[in-house]
Structure 1
Amino acid sequence: MSEQVRQNNVDRFSGFGDLYDQSRPKAPVDLINILKMYLGHSPEVVADVGCGTGLSSFAWLDHAKQIIGIEPNDDMRAVAMNHWRERNSPSQLQFVKGLSTELPLEPSSVDLVTCSQSFHWMDPQPTLQEFARVLRPGGIFAAYDCDWPPAASPELDQAYEKLVQVAEKRASELIETGKEAFKWPKNQHLQQIQKSGLFRFSREIVFHHWESCDADRFANLALSQGGLQTALKLGADEIASAAEQFRDQVRRVFGGEIRNILFGYRMRLGVKSN
């Protein structure tokens, strides 16, 4: 990955940290229980890489002695820091600036490295080399992602997918050459872990989590997608109009109610060789 592409990937998430934080799901307790089960104990040190606004970092406060949230985007990290201060600055949690290929961590110092909705933005093989460097023998790397959209209804699922696809297409048409972001396929995460040769065991685990949601949050989940935000930042007025039409449709379907929606997760993990 070139330095320019890396910076493009970081910049993609500027300017909508609060929307992202208020809309996206928190790390579910099943995730924590699965990783503790595979580790065989509660982790002492967790490094949450590409932590964004800290949704996946705060989840470990009652389960690890030290949590380091590592995020290269200043806007996203600022939201995480605000929440950290609001929680009276828990001493076992810190947020730092860093890249997945240059972690500010000592060798063999971490029990668990997580990437929540972020590994597909990282150059996989150099990143896995760095993760293996900081993991202790038997430590775990886990990349976990939601399936988009969350399950709500046939009508809303279809409308969500259509809006995001149209926005991604428009963003690709408007963006300046050389400013494009690049992501690796999520469905190849497990193969990348296996290809690295750094992990003695690997597998994919699928689980789900219900969350309550009102109409505005469901609409904002779509708006929190990077491609849609890119189109808006590039001045695609027709995407802004389509987003408002989508919001109106969601409000009609929800009818003022708070509903349960289903987030499906796919986690690919590797256990570092001894």
Structure 2
Amino acid sequence: MNQQIRLNNVERFKGFGTLYDQNRPSAPREIVDILTNVLGSKPRFVADVGCGTGLSTWIWLNDAERIIGVEPSDDMRSVGIAKWEAAGKPDQLRFAAGMSHDLGLPDDSVDILTCSQSFHWMEPASTLREFARVLRPGGIFAAYDCDWPPVLDWQLEAAYQQLVSTADELASRLSSAEQQAHKWSKEEHLQRIRQSGLFRYSREIVFHHYEPFTADRYANLALSQGGLQTALKLGAAELNELADDFRRQAELVFDGASKEVLFSYRMRIGIV
């Protein structure tokens, strides 16, 4: 994989770690329950790769003996470390800089390795080889993503999609080819796991999770999308007005109340 693409993918998440952490959904409890059941025992060591601010890392705190969150973006990782420090620096959890193709972990050392909303930013072939190297026999790789936008009101969802689509178009138009990030299709995650030849069993697991949202959080969820943040950093000032319109629409739908928003998850697993 071109090193510049790797750097662009990391750079995409610079500058909005706090916005991301405060508004993105926390990884649901179902992740821990499903993967622990598949493993057949409490994991000794969990690696959460591309962990961002740690929203997907903390869920293992009381359910694994050791946990590491690996994240290449200094901005994102610093938010996770600040929360870890505020929580008293729990011994079983740590955060580290690292790339998916070079984790710096021992062979056969990891029981469960997860990628939450992140595997599509990683070059698949080198990443899967590295994951298979660090997983112990019987260990599980799980890439899980939620569908965007979350389910609440179809007109608000359509506006969300339009805002994000416009932002992606502006980001593409305002950046040079050398600046652009690259992502791989989420729909091909399971196929890539199978075609790698590194896993003896693979499948997709689908589940749902509700999380309470206010209008402000729902609007900020859209603002936390990487394409929108990229377009704003590139000077697409017209997005501010579109984002304000979207926020007003969210306020009308929520009408001052908190509502349960439905997130649909797709998890692709491979067992070495």
- Does TM-score exceed 0.5, indicating one fold? yes
User: Counterparts of 1:151-170 in structure 2 under 5 Å?
Assistant: 151-170=151-170
Give the alignment of 1:121-270 within 5 angstroms.
121-270=121-270
Deviations 1:48-103 (CA, angstroms, capped at 9, x unpaired) = 00000000100000100000100000000000000001111100000000000000
Q: For residue 243 of structure 1, what is the amino acid of its counterpart? A: A
Task: Determine the C-alpha separation between the residues in 2 that align with 1:17 and 1:106.
Answer: 29
Q: In structure 2, how many angstroms separate the alpha carbons of the residues matched to 1:195 and 1:251? A: 46
Identical-pair percentage: 59
Give CA-to-partner distance per residue, 1:155-204, whole Å, 9 cap, x none.
11111001000110011000123000000000000000001101110000
Match of 2:74 in 1: 74
Amino acid of the residue matched to residue 71 of structure 2?
E
8 Å CA contact 2:113, 2:141 repeated in 1: yes
TM-score with structure 2 setting the length: 0.99
RMSD: 0.6
Q: Which residue of 2 aligns with 1:96?
A: 96
Q: Which amino acid aligns with 1:98?
A: G
TM-score (normalised: structure 1): 0.98
Q: List gaps (5 residues or longer) in structure 1.
A: none
Match of 2:47 in 1: 47
Distance 2:104 2:251 in 1: 45
Amino acid at match of 2:65: K
The count of corresponding residues between Structure 1 and Structure 2 is 272
Deviations 1:100-159 (A, max 9, x none): 000020000110100000000000011000000000000000000010000011111111
Q: Is the 8 A contact 2:153 2:253 kept in 1?
A: no
Write the letter of the residue equivalent to 1:238.
E
Task: Tell me how far 1:42 sits from its aligned partner.
Answer: 1.3
1:11 corresponding residue in structure 2? 11
Segments of 4+ in structure 1 off by > 6 A? Answer: none
Residue type of the alignment partner of 2:3: E
CA displacement at 1:228 relative to structure 2: 0.4
Structure 2, unpaired ranges of 5+: none
Which residue in the other structure is 1:22 paired with? 22
